[in-house]
Amino acid sequence: MSLARCFIGLGSNLATPKTQLVAALNAIEKLVDTHIVRCSSFYSSQPMGPQDQPKYVNAVAEISTRLKPLALLDELQKIELQQGRQRKEERWGPRTLDLDILLIDSLVLDTPRLTVPHYGLKQREFVLYPLYEIAPDLVLPCGNSLLSVLDRVSKNGLSAIASDINWERNTQPN
């Protein structure tokens, strides 16, 4: 399979969220046939669901990978589980780690396990602003520029909390 350009949303609001995101980036970098190209700053955001939970720390990473979409999803879910993610019926509740496939090139996919582009991509400030930071010229598969979508979404208290990400890249090809 050829290299695909993917964007992954990262989020955490439990168990030292910044540490969770750095650990997730390190784990993603170690995936077979996968390399992190760049990562946004970390952002503090309001919880999307119940408001009686801690604020989230979010980021977006651009990766290149040869993994097929469902294989990538499987690997990301393994990372979530390794970092203590517990899948509960309550949507948008607190979590140690959430990894979402946002985009894979210009692919449009709708299966029971995976929807690409991510179904909430165009409404979520904690995805759009970090995505814009690392890919300001991005055009979504629907043909809209990222900037035109971003112009319609409020920051809702979103703020950058880190300008440098301290995660170690693999120096060996995987």
Options 85, 91, 105, 124, the catalytic residue: 85
Choose, from 87, 95, 113, 151, the residue flagged as catalytic: 95
Q: Which of 74, 98, 110, 169 is catalytic?
A: 98
Q: Are 13 and 93 in contact (CB under 8 A)?
A: no
User: Annotated catalytic, 113?
Assistant: no
98 as an active site residue: the answer is yes
The one-letter amino acid at 36: I
100 part of the active site: yes
In the set 66, 100, 110, 113, the catalytic residue is 100
Task: Tell me the catalytic residues.
Answer: 85, 95, 98, 100
